[in-house]
Structure formats: structure tokens, C-alpha cells
Amino acid sequence: MTGYLDRFVAGRRADRTLVVQPRMGFGRIGAMAAGLREVAALDFPVVGTITIDSYTRVGDHTTPLERLAADEELNGYPLVSHPAAATRDMLADLYGPEFPVQVRHGTALPLAVFRRLVEVGLDATEGGPVSYCLPYSRLPLADAVRAWSESCLLLAGETEHGHIESFGGCLLGQLCPPSILVATAVLEGCFFRAHGLRHMSFSYAQGTLPAQDRGALRALRTLAAELLGDATWHVVLYTYMGLFPRTPAGASALIEDSARLARDAGCERLIVKTVSEAWQIPSVSENLSALRLAAAAARGPAAARSAEEDAYYEETLAEARAIVAAVLDLDADIGTALTEAFRLGLLDIPYCLHPDNRSATTCVIDERGALAWGSTGNLPLSTPTSRTAGRLSSDDLYGMLNHVAERYDSASSEPRLVPHP
């Protein structure tokens, strides 16, 4: 039966307690078990993570074991390469109703990962046909849609409570106006439901302005309730996914602000980054420190809504609703609708270099510090925007990419632990 993730999150939601979760994966079974054990021992609500290595993400299931045999390290756990029985044994005394475990994988062709996670007794993962194709592969979107169709059907058929967290709210990690993130997450939710899944979550990546983020998260809830009211779902916030501050104080402040944002917006779960994001793959101890920091920052009453937040809510909801409606009107088959939407430019991700993305849209950081459309291309918006005449310069783009890191580092008197790029 399982369904541990949904029931665990629902229980904490009733307690009004934020669930925190690391992005953590290690190549060796012993190291992965030790990391999960330390996370499970924390005295606040946490979800365990098995993050897949980069070889597995591209369908290479041989090289991981060769690298481990050569005494090298991997940047994640090779779930498909390790024997299923060994992974089941690793999880036996950890995975349960008080410690759900989610597989995070990053692959556009996930069928082998889905088969193995079901085989080892898990039922929660994440990604999506758009959100794990455009940022991470050159695979044609139509191929990813077919692969995700088969994978979702397998998860729905082999598990009672199969759960997928759409990664649509984290496309490229930064420089995407909230409405395209909200629309993509909800559209992927519609895709999951069309392929038999009734348990899901929707991601949203912390942006550049808290009021805009709070409004966008409310818009995500409204649109999900309208279109997916018959599904079990919750909202997941990600600590900022772009270039991270290079000082410990700056990174810590950003993590704390993401936890407060999650609390204020009523998010059920937070994916936490660490202070070392800018220069290395985090250790177990760094993940534990970040989880403690986030859990502590999330305590206390939520901030009151503001008129500024309300305005961003209305703006994001109107844009996202228009995008979703235009896509769903293209075809009764949601997979076909998604591929056709990108061909027509009704879905178009700023600064995304995937061949199936039109790249006619741009994003800027406006005078308020919010993410705004620079140009809207062929998006189905009632008020097309053209803040950028011609191409942005490399200096403009560099400044926007570094906007958040610079803001948090400039407030810190500590030296940078990595040099300014």
C-alpha cells in the first residue's frame, strides 16, 4: 500500500508544520544508508531523498559501477545499477510512515528508474515530460512525452499511491516569470492525471521578490484546485535554484528567507539547499545544518498578506490561466497538446536552448526587483510585453543571473569562499 509521502505531508499540514527535505545522493550503498539514517534522526518533520547520479540520468547503467570499483565517487545513487535487493535491504529499517523517501532523478527517459523504484518498494518521485526534458536534455520533446506516458502508466499500474512531484515550477532555476512556472506545473499535473496518477505535488522555485513569490504560490493553488480538484496534491517550494551566494552568511540568509516564504505561503514542503551550493556537492553534515536552519526559520506565525502580494496574485493567475487554457484547447491528448504548444510558441521558456523551444520570450528583473516578461513572443497573453528591444547584452544577462547572489552577499561582511566569477 505505502503512500507514505502523501499521508506524512497531510499530517504535518494539519499540524501547520513545514516538512523539509534535502537534495542528497551518494554512490555507495553504505554512504546512502548513513545519510538517510542521519536525516531520519532529526527531531522535526523531514522527507528522505535518494538523488540519482548523472550517469543514470542519461541511461548509462554500467559506468556507475565501474567508477565505484575504481574507488571514485559519484554525484548520486545509481538506483538502476545497484541490485534491487541491496537497495531494499538499505531501506528496510528506514523507509516508513514516519520517514517517507522520494527518488529524484533528472532524466527525460525515466522508465528504467520508475521500474526500479517500484521494484525496491518506493512509490514517490518527481520530474515531468517538459520539466525534465527542456532543461536537461536535447531529446525531442515528443520522445520525452512518450517515455513519460509509459512511465506514468507503469507507476499508476504498479502502485496504489504513486506520487510524482512536477518539476515545472523550477524550469531552468531562474529568470522565468512566475506565470510560466505555474502553468507548466499545472499542465504536468494534468498529464499525470491523464495517465492514471491521482497523487502529486507542484513545485515552485523561490524567485527574486518575496511578495511576487507569495502571490504566485497562491495562484498555483487556485489553478491546481480548479483543474485538479479530484487529485491529492500539495505545494513544494524550492530554495532559490539559480546562482547561490558565495558567503556562508549570505547563503544562510537566503535559506532562511526561503523557509519563511514557504511558511507564509502555506507550502507543505521545502526542498532545502546548503551553504556550500556555490562551490561543492554538499556533505551530509552540510545538509543536516541546512535542514535545521530552515526548520527553525519556518517556526512562528505567517506574515499578513499585502496589497502588493494581492496584485502579483491576480497578475500571475490571469497569465497562467490563459496559458493553460490555450494549451488544453489544442488537443484532447495532453501529451500532443504540450508538444504542439511548444511548436506554436504558446509555451516558450526564456533563455532555454532546447531545440523544441522557440526562444522568442525573455525575462527581465524590473525596477521593483520582480521577474517580468521582457518579450512575450507568441504566448497567449492579452497584454503582450516588449521591454527588451532587440537582444539583451551579455552584461545584462550576467547581472540578472547574479542578482540574488550579489544581494545576499553584499549584506554580509564575510569573505567569499569562492571567487567572484
pLDDT, tens only, 109-125: 999 999 999 999 999 99
| pLDDT on residue 277 | 76
Average pLDDT, the chain: 94
Average pLDDT over residues 135-154: 97
CA 96 to chain CA centroid, Å, is 23
| pLDDT on residue 124 | 98
Alpha-carbon distance 396 to 114, whole Å?
41
**Would the pLDDT of 57 be above 70?**
yes
| pLDDT on residue 7 | 97
| pLDDT on residue 421 | 47
| pLDDT on residue 413 | 62
In SS3 terms, the chain reads as: CCCHHHHHHHHHHHHCCCEEEECCCCCCHHHHHHHHHHHHCCCCCECEEEEECHHHHCCCCCHHHHHHHCCCCCCCECCCCCCHHHHHHHHCCCCECCECEEEECCCCCCHHHHHHHHHCCCCEEEECCCCCCCCCCCCCHHHHHHHHHHHHHHHHHHCCCCEEEECHHHCCCCCCCHHHHHHHHHHHHHHHHHCCCCEEEEEEECCCCHHHHHHHHHHHHHHHHHHCCCCEEEEEEECCCCCCCCCHHHHHHHHHHHHHHHHHHCCCEEEECCCCCCCCCCCHHHHHHHHHHHHHHCCCCCCCCCHHHHHHHHHHHHHHHHHHHHHHCCCCCHHHHHHHHHHHCCCCCCCCCCCCCCCCEEEEECCCCCEEEEEECCCCCCCCCECCCCCCCHHHHHHHHCHHHHHHHHCCCCCCCCCCC
Phi, psi of 135 (to 5 degrees): -75, -25
**Would the pLDDT of 294 be above 80?**
yes
Please tell me the total number of residues recorded for the chain in this structure: 421
Confidence at 282, pLDDT banded by 50, 70, 90: confident
Q: What is the pLDDT of residues 234-251, one digit of tens each?
A: 999 999 999 999 999 999
| pLDDT on residue 389 | 44
Of the given ranges (9-23, 58-72, 269-283), which has the lowest mean pLDDT?
A: 269-283
**Would the pLDDT of 304 be above 80?**
yes
C-alpha cell at 234: 500539495
Confidence at 281, pLDDT banded by 50, 70, 90: confident
**Would the pLDDT of 367 be above 80?**
yes
| pLDDT on residue 9 | 98
| pLDDT on residue 198 | 97
Residues forming beta bridges with residue 365, ordered by sequence position: 371
Average pLDDT over residues 342-370: 96
End-to-end CA distance of the chain: 49
Note whether 86 and 29 are within 8 A (CB): yes
| pLDDT on residue 385 | 59
Q: What is the pLDDT of residues 219-235, one digit of tens each?
A: 999 999 999 999 999 99
Confidence at 292, pLDDT banded by 50, 70, 90: very high
**Would the pLDDT of 415 be above 80?**
no
- Give the global pTM: 0.95
Alpha-carbon distance 251 to 405, whole Å?
8
Q: How many CB atoms lie within 10 A of CB 264?
A: 20
Note whether 56 and 76 are within 8 A (CB): yes
